[in-house]
Homo-oligomer: A and B are copies of this chain.
């Protein structure tokens, strides 16, 4: 009787920092499903169980959507409040942010909606100063103090409770989805700490975004919820299907773009994306988006992060500046990746990495000191992007809309009569100020984002990249606009800015620039365009967006093959088989096999004839993650393959629970028992943990085919027919050797 079956706890699980065996996991799931389906015919209870099992996936998706949407709403509200807390507090109740505080106030008009007596800046509150340089200095000081406090708390919490909570999360999730195990990366402590520290990090004014961390948060929710469903708890492959869906949820709540979220998951994060996951991801993303909307963090019952309200047409020749923005985006992407990776390498290899808390505090100090004086760096990046995307309406009093009116007055507000004349769109002093401030903000943001991404706090880079692009786009858009106005009599600009006709919309340029820069860094393609499409709600601007996105990707790809996430994967040394890897020379499997010439021969087990002691010694002497099993030393025909971990667990279990097992007990991998003398100790039968159908390739198999097999079928190891040699998938790279096998 075989005492070692699947109910031995530990069999079938994996070591930390190992890859899973997709084929085995899928077989387990198919067997389970077949068993349930066959039993369901026997009784009504079994039938109901089978139906509930089929729907458990949908219930899980619903729960993930609800939990992620709720968390994202909470994060948004808290971050908004704490960001405003750096500047002042509401007398009606300290838990109100600035906008909420002034809502109820009757003295506000739309223009002045942020000014109300209930909101007191710190200077006014603490010192009683209400004007003059003292006001400025005290506010400056308080702003920097709050920023330092938030950042300090964030990094302390991360270091103390959940070191995995730092960074973006997307590179590690990509690796996990490709089959790697990182225990604790998606656990409950990581979730709690990541949520809290994300709010703190965003509020501290650092140049980082929420999107990557929101994907991490959603995946943590998914991982935790999986524990309540048998179907997903024990099966690593099914769990990864759920995690794919959770990545879609993360992007969906970050932007309010469910379709874009699903495509992001498909394009950037998922390794295996069965079509079944597509439908469920979409469902979960929608649930999350609507949960977020009901929580209503933006106070405007809108779903999208940046709502674009204009629909003015664009002119064909504007494609030239749009392509220029695309080139800028590609250059920014290539520059950012190289600079950031160099900085992270510096952090890893020098003493800079030994003082993470100090690093965070110093960077926050510098960011806050340099950000406060300039309006455009003081506001949060999301607000900045919203303002840059905005088209200047008649009532806009911001400096960005500081055009001169027809009568020559330089007031900020543009009155109705002025809008008819061309002079209304000539840049006034307000606009000039805004321009050089934006240019300064551009440089600061670029530098700070390079230094911030990768610190030991949660940090995303979607919003910072979009901010860089939006600033560049708006600058270019205003330049184009002024050019068109001053030279409107030339052929090339005819019809662009005639009186009464729509002129150039700088907000559109900001949007295109944001898309180009984001694409250059992440190399997103379809998901980027779809997210922007969902943000703007119409197909009018698809062509400029596509042109910029394509140009940006081509330029960035020409300068460097990897996106930021792949670069970080490589920096951290994760075993990720990239789909795009090409081999320069026609490499064969025989070139990468182990053992190589000069290495000792591969350790094998025989089907019968080995004792427990011999096997235990072999396990202790080697570090291989698995062993081939052959018929005998003389006839090395392959029977199967057995994993080290399963062997260790089975032998321990046999020693503990099976009667009469001693070091001299024979180990059998055969199907039928060979005849044994009655005085011999009872055998340990291990056929159940033997993989009887390992994959084999011939020596002449080209390396690309081997990589294809590994990637498409999800293998861990692949054996060579006729002789026992192994290719183990940890890092299949012809220049580098493998890790511990």
Q: Which residues of A contact B (CB under 8 A)?
A: 23, 26-27, 30-31, 33-34, 37-38, 258-259, 262, 266-267, 274-275, 278-279, 282-283, 286, 289-290, 303, 525-526, 529-530, 533-534, 537-539, 542-543, 546, 550, 579, 582-586, 637-638, 640, 692-698, 700-702, 704-705, 708-709, 712-713, 721-722
Partner of A525, one of B30, B37, B279, B705: B279
Q: Is there an interface contact between B526 and A282, defined as CB atoms closer than 8 Å? A: yes
Partner of A692, one of B526, B529, B638, B700: B700
Q: Is there an interface contact between A34 and B586, defined as CB atoms closer than 8 Å? A: yes
Q: Is there an interface contact between B693 and A696, defined as CB atoms closer than 8 Å? A: no
The complex places the Cα of A664 from the Cα of B399 at a distance, in Å, of: 93
The complex places the Cα of A27 from the Cα of B583 at a distance, in Å, of: 12
| Chain B residues within an 8 Å CB radius of A709 | 713
Identify the closest chain B residue to A38 (Cβ). Answer: B584
Chain A residues touching B, majority SS: helix
The count of identical subunits is 2
Q: Is there an interface contact between A546 and B698, defined as CB atoms closer than 8 Å? A: no
Identify the closest chain B residue to A274 (Cβ). Answer: B579
The complex places the Cα of A218 from the Cα of B619 at a distance, in Å, of: 60
The complex places the Cα of A283 from the Cα of B547 at a distance, in Å, of: 10
- Report A706 CB to chain B, min CB distance, Å: 9
The complex places the Cα of A702 from the Cα of B23 at a distance, in Å, of: 11
Q: Is there an interface contact between B697 and A693, defined as CB atoms closer than 8 Å? A: yes
Top 3 A-B pairs ranked by shortest CB distance?
A693-B701, A692-B700, A279-B525
Identify the closest chain B residue to A580 (Cβ). Answer: B276
Q: Is there an interface contact between B693 and A705, defined as CB atoms closer than 8 Å? A: yes
The complex places the Cα of A705 from the Cα of B20 at a distance, in Å, of: 16
The complex places the Cα of A696 from the Cα of B720 at a distance, in Å, of: 11
Partner of A30, one of B579, B704, B722: B704
- Report A251 CB to chain B, min CB distance, Å: 15
Q: Is there an interface contact between B705 and A27, defined as CB atoms closer than 8 Å? A: yes
Residue contacts A-B, CB under 8 angstroms, 9 given: A26-B704, A27-B702, A34-B582, A37-B584, A282-B525, A282-B529, A289-B539, A638-B698, A638-B721
Q: Is there an interface contact between A279 and B526, defined as CB atoms closer than 8 Å? A: yes
Identify the closest chain B residue to A304 (Cβ). Answer: B539
Partner of A713, one of B38, B286, B542, B708: B708
Q: Which of A37, A286, A579 has the most CB of B within 10 A?
A: A286
- Report A217 CB to chain B, min CB distance, Å: 23
The complex places the Cα of A701 from the Cα of B538 at a distance, in Å, of: 51
The complex places the Cα of A713 from the Cα of B705 at a distance, in Å, of: 9
The complex places the Cα of A693 from the Cα of B7 at a distance, in Å, of: 38
The complex places the Cα of A542 from the Cα of B262 at a distance, in Å, of: 15
The complex places the Cα of A179 from the Cα of B34 at a distance, in Å, of: 29
| Chain B residues within an 8 Å CB radius of A638 | 698, 721
Partner of A278, one of B33, B267, B546, B586: B267
- Report A701 CB to chain B, min CB distance, Å: 4
| Chain B residues within an 8 Å CB radius of A258 | 539, 542
| Chain B residues within an 8 Å CB radius of A697 | 693, 695
The complex places the Cα of A708 from the Cα of B34 at a distance, in Å, of: 17
- Report A34 CB to chain B, min CB distance, Å: 7
| Chain B residues within an 8 Å CB radius of A721 | 638, 696, 721
| Chain B residues within an 8 Å CB radius of A713 | 708-709, 712-713
| Chain B residues within an 8 Å CB radius of A286 | 542-543, 546
The complex places the Cα of A537 from the Cα of B536 at a distance, in Å, of: 10
